[in-house]
Amino acid sequence: MSVLALSNSLPTLPPSPSQSKSETPKPLSPLLSNFTTTTTTIHNNSISWTKKTIITALSGALSCGLVFSPPCSVALESPTIQSPPPSSEYCREDEQVLKAESGPELVTNAGIVEEAWEIVNDSFLDTGRHRWSPQTWQEKKEDIMNTSIPTRAKAHDIIRRMLASLGDPYTRFLEPEEFSKMARYDMSGIGLNLREVPEDNGGVKLKVLGLLLDGPAHSAGVRQGDEVLAVNGVDVRGKSAFEVSSLLQGPNETFVTVKVKHGNCGPIQSIEVQRQLVARTPVVYRLEQIDNGSASVGYMRLKEFNALARKDLVIAMKRLQDMGASSFILDLRDNLGGLVQVGIEIAKLFLNEGETVIYTVGRDLQYQNTVVADTAPLVTAPVVVLVNNKTASASEIVASSLHDNCRAVLVGERTFGKGLIQSVFELLDGSGVVVTVGKYVTPNHRDINGNGIEPDYRNLPAWSDVTQHLSQCSKLQG
User: Is residue 16 flagged as an active site residue?
Assistant: no
What is the band of 82 on the pLDDT scale with cuts at 50, 70, 90? very low
- Among residues 393, 395, 423, 431, the one annotated as catalytic is 393
What is the band of 410 on the pLDDT scale with cuts at 50, 70, 90? very high
What is the band of 310 on the pLDDT scale with cuts at 50, 70, 90? very high
Average per-residue pLDDT in the chain?
79
Distance CA 242, CA 245 (A): 5
- Among residues 181, 259, 418, 439, the one annotated as catalytic is 418
Beta-carbon contacts of 84 under 8 Å, excluding residues fewer than 6 positions away, are: 266, 267
> What local confidence, expressed as pLDDT, does residue 370 receive?
94
Q: What is the pLDDT of residues 109-123, one digit of tens each?
A: 999 999 999 999 999
Distance CA 94, CA 88 (A): 12
Mean pLDDT in residue range 470-474: 96
Q: Which residue has the higher pLDDT, 1 or 312?
A: 312
Q: Which residue has the higher pLDDT, 429 or 376?
A: 376
Q: Is 187-274 CATH 2.30.42.10?
A: yes
Q: Please check the confidence at residue 187 and state whether its pLDDT lies above 90.
A: no
Question: Beta strands 268-274 and 327-331: pairing type?
Answer: unpaired
Alpha-helical segments (H) within 336-416: 340-348, 394-404
Mean pLDDT in residue range 4-33: 40
> What type of residue is 216?
P
Which of 50-54, 158-162, 228-232, 401-405 is predicted least confidently?
Answer: 50-54
Q: What is the pLDDT of residues 325-357, one digit of tens each?
A: 999 999 999 999 988 889 999 999 999 999 999
> What local confidence, expressed as pLDDT, does residue 292 receive?
73
Which of 76-85, 314-323, 358-367, 459-468 is predicted least confidently?
Answer: 76-85
Give one DSSP letter per residue of 87-120, joined into a string.
GGGS-HHHHHHHHHHH-GGG--HHHHHHHHHHHH
> What local confidence, expressed as pLDDT, does residue 385 receive?
99
> What local confidence, expressed as pLDDT, does residue 225 receive?
84
> What local confidence, expressed as pLDDT, does residue 14 receive?
54
Q: What Cα–Cα distance (Å) separates residue 386 from each residue in 320, 331, 476?
A: 18, 5, 23
User: Is residue 418 flagged as an active site residue?
Assistant: yes
**How many CB atoms are closer than 10 A to CB 316?**
26
> What local confidence, expressed as pLDDT, does residue 83 receive?
31
Q: Which residue has the higher pLDDT, 344 or 195?
A: 344
Domain boundaries, the chain: 29-45+280-477, 187-274
What is the band of 63 on the pLDDT scale with cuts at 50, 70, 90? very low
Mean pLDDT in residue range 1-14: 31
For the domain bounded by 29-45+280-477, which CATH number is listed?
Answer: 3.90.226.10
Q: Please check the confidence at residue 284 and state whether its pLDDT lies above 90.
A: yes
> What local confidence, expressed as pLDDT, does residue 336 receive?
94
> What local confidence, expressed as pLDDT, does residue 86 receive?
36
> What local confidence, expressed as pLDDT, does residue 39 receive?
42
Q: Please check the confidence at residue 408 and state whether its pLDDT lies above 70.
A: yes
- Among 440, 450, 422, 429, which residue's Cα sits nearest to residue 172? 422
Name the pTM for this structure.
0.66
> What local confidence, expressed as pLDDT, does residue 276 receive?
83
- For 231, phi then psi, to 5°, come to -130, 120
